[in-house]
Chains A and B, each alone.
Chain A
């Protein structure tokens, strides 16, 4: 009788441990997937910029430096660099794109030009997508970190190499120090 009880308890514990472990693995994969999504959106922005610049080039003859600053910022952002620098170049790229829209405000006929409006929508949306991808990454990190810090996973999570992921800090021209961390 006692043996049966022990066996039942052992089986329950094993099943429980397996499902907890699998839950942790799933969470960790979700975090990694969320991180890759940020890269996907960044890359989409790099791909988008040349096409869209081509579309507005002829309207922007007098504002050549705005266009070159975007091209340069894009080239800088695409170079391999440390995560901190990366975030800063991204913020710079966003800034130069913002400049372009600000300049467009000075041309009333250009403001209503559909090419530019499409351009504006696509880039604003890509900016949003990048920030929502970061937000989703942070949400996933929050779920994952809570999971590994809570009982019962906390007992063995560290032993099995489940360490806390770091949040993607808010990135913007108004913030001075920028940290991007991901192990």
Chain B
């Protein structure tokens, strides 16, 4: 009959349900809220300083602050309600039907049954690099995406392991946090870029100091704004790193609990890490979403503070320890 249900290794998985499971979900929800608060404070401060720098007086600063509040609220709400669609569009994902990709669709459905979650939307990305991610604000609005390279290079058990890992992110509410990080970080980077570019054109209405002390403060604010704009990408990078690498281990463990087959995911990770193709559609805002870091050359400095993922060899070793 089926290749996956037959001769499965006997796996004992510690049932990390209930308390720890719920704690993890609660923690992810708290993190999302904290992230949003930090982002909001940043946008407001940025708006105040920018307003001052452009207009040159406190009234301009308040106007900038007001504008920032509006923009911050809108982009926060948009990232919450439409972030998944933005991430999917940025990754050039298209919806996969059961007719076109029966194996992918079936494997996802198997994993949603094993996890007791609602069926997520299934997407494919036309890219030969094998990778996958999940996104959405909660399990009722979740999407999973796999590259066509993943479908070609993995066998059914391996694909099942990868999709179990993605469904684990859905179950743990990791997806809301990851998605908001991606969109908010992207917004901050865009805003900084916008400021740095427009600075050389019309910015600074009464620069030149013909109105006394105001010009002096304006120049200071301009410097502060410049610093903020330059530091924003660094800030964004730090936020991405704040996504705990531990979550990847937890998703791996949950995936094994769902499939009862650590070998599938271990083999899949080995294949993905051994693959040299570059995932073209991944960028710095979405890199942390994927099951393995799509930015190549990363394994060399895998243990460094600046990686979004734990070293893949370590994840494989842990899975092998479970009986793979």
Contact = CB atoms under 8 A, between A and B. Distances in A.
Interface of A: 30, 33-34, 37, 41, 94, 97-98, 101, 118, 121-125, 127-129, 131-133, 135-136, 139-140, 142-143, 146-147
A124 B3 contact: yes
Contacts of B2: 123-125, 127-128
Nearest to B160: A128
Given A41-B113, A127-B2, A131-B5, 14 more contacts: A30-B116, A37-B113, A97-B1, A118-B102, A122-B102, A125-B109, A127-B5, A129-B109, A129-B113, A135-B260, A139-B116, A143-B15, A146-B18, A147-B18
Contacts of A128: 2, 4-5, 106, 110
A157 to B, nearest CB: 15
B201 interface: no
B18 A143 contact: yes
B114 interface: yes
A124 B258 CA distance: 17
Interface string B172-188: 00000000000000000
A128 B3 CA distance: 9
Interface of B: 1-5, 15, 17-18, 102-103, 106-107, 109-111, 113-116, 257-258, 260
Contacts of B5: 127-128, 131
B18 A121 contact: no
Given A125-B106, A143-B18, A136 B1 contact: no
Contacts of A139: 15, 17, 116, 257
Contacts of A135: 114, 260
28 contacts: A30-B116, A34-B116, A37-B113, A41-B113, A97-B1, A98-B1, A121-B103, A124-B2, A124-B3, A125-B2, A125-B102, A125-B106, A125-B107, A125-B110, A127-B1, A127-B2, A128-B5, A128-B110, A132-B111, A132-B113, A135-B114, A136-B115, A139-B15, A142-B17, A143-B17, A143-B18, A146-B18, A147-B18
A30 B110 CA distance: 18
A28 B260 CA distance: 24
Name B's interface SS. Answer: helix
A98 B5 CA distance: 12
B217 to A, nearest CB: 55
B113 A136 contact: yes
Contacts of B115: 136
B114 A124 contact: no
A21 to B, nearest CB: 16
A123 B5 CA distance: 12
Contacts of A118: 102
Contacts of B111: 132
Nearest to A102: B1
Contacts of A30: 116
B1 A140 contact: no
A94 B110 contact: no
Nearest to B111: A132
Contacts of B258: 132
Contacts of A94: 1
A133 B112 CA distance: 9
Contacts of B106: 121-122, 125, 128-129
Nearest to A33: B116
A50 to B, nearest CB: 19
Contacts of A129: 106, 109-110, 113
A128 B160 CA distance: 11
A136 B10 CA distance: 17
Q: Which 4 A-B pairs have the closest CB atoms?
A: A125-B106, A124-B2, A132-B114, A98-B1
B35 to A, nearest CB: 29
Contacts of B109: 125, 129
Nearest to B117: A136
Contacts of B116: 30, 33-34, 37, 136, 139-140
A37 B3 CA distance: 22
A132 B257 CA distance: 11
Contacts of A41: 113
B113 A133 contact: yes
